[in-house]
Amino acid sequence: MASATGAVIDVPLIQQLGTVALLVALAPLIAIALRWRRPESHGATTTVVMMLALASGALMIVVGSAARVSGEYIDVQPGWRTAVYFACFSAWAAFMPYLYLRVSVEELRRGQLPAQVSLVFWLFAIVAVWGLEEAISILLMGVFAAAGLARDFVALRVTLNETSYTYLLALATLCAALPLWRAVTESLGVDRWSRSIRSLTPMWSDLVRTCPEVVLRHPSPQSSPVHRVHRMCVEIRDSLSLLGRYVEDLPDAVSVDNKSAAEVFYRAAHRRRADAPPGAFTKVPIEPSADLKQEVRVLAAIGRYWPTEPGFTVKTQGEQR
């Protein structure tokens, strides 16, 4: 690039622009963390954060001009400009993990979180502590380099910074590939939600045949597997509720295992299709669920024992309307 632009964009400038780009990339993450704390002012907060990040980046390019002229890494050049350069970067690099650490600690102290959500906040907290350590270490490197002190530490920190860029690039590539991986698995029907649809389909098909009034209308033609499985769960729950008036011979109203529940509801569905008169509503104890993943597990456990009728077929959810 230096040759192509006649040294207008030289290697030292590219190096400094890379650091500035990393700073600007932190700004949206900081804005997200601030929105967690003050959602009522998210628009203004995002604008202010982005403007401050751009101003900090511009200041870094300005104070880094002397290092670019000398052809040295600003990381090792003595002088106040080096201290200002790394103070700007370290302030942003420390503020982001500080916010995430504070939010994570508050949520974990508040408690009453699902296990997976708690795990995410613990992960945020651990990464935030590491981020604070890195930010403080980079700031010390800038101060020592500016004062001409601790040259061994400065050299070590420069090497670690270069290595960190490689790891960050690999991590960013992985994150960018996740949506593509999800699209591929969905198209092949091997993702979690497509498998859930297949596991629920036999019971769901029988129930919506018995209780067609529960079928939700106007589905989106571009609906995702998670949207379709959510619809199936709603329709299954609604069907089971309607079949409560056709339940007979409930083995134990206090504790019913999945196999017994499947048999009870299957017989109730058969009676409804045979136009049997409804009776008093009988509640069949089914484990409640807190989210869609748990709901799929609960219903799939019942569907695993759902009897199938030979010769009976029904279209999939996206086709039946």
pTM over 0.85: no
Q: What is the pLDDT of residue 38?
A: 72
The Cα 127–Cα 143 span in angstroms is 24
Flag whether pLDDT at 320 surpasses 70: no
pLDDT band per the 50, 70, 90 thresholds, residue 315: very low
Q: What is the pLDDT of residue 19?
A: 84
Q: What is the pLDDT of residue 174?
A: 82
Q: Look-up: residue for tokens 């989210």? A: 291
Q: What is the pLDDT of residue 43?
A: 67
Q: What is the pLDDT of residue 76?
A: 76
Looking at every residue in the chain, the average pLDDT score rounds to: 82
The Cα 66–Cα 82 span in angstroms is 10
Residue 120 neighbours by CB distance under 10 Å? 14
Q: What is the radius of gyration, based on Cα positions, of the chain?
A: 30
Give the C-alpha distances (Å, rounded to integers) separating 163 from 156, 158, 159.
11, 9, 6
Give the C-alpha distances (Å, rounded to integers) separating 217 from 78, 220, 317.
70, 9, 11
Q: How many angstroms separate the most distant Cα atoms in the chain?
A: 93
The Cα 186–Cα 229 span in angstroms is 13
Q: Which of 209, 231, 238 is nearest to 313 (CA)?
A: 209
Q: What is the pLDDT of residue 317?
A: 39
The Cα 77–Cα 52 span in angstroms is 26
Q: How many CA atoms lie within 13 A of 240 on its CB side?
A: 22
Give the C-alpha distances (Å, rounded to integers) separating 70 from 12, 65, 78, 142.
9, 9, 12, 17
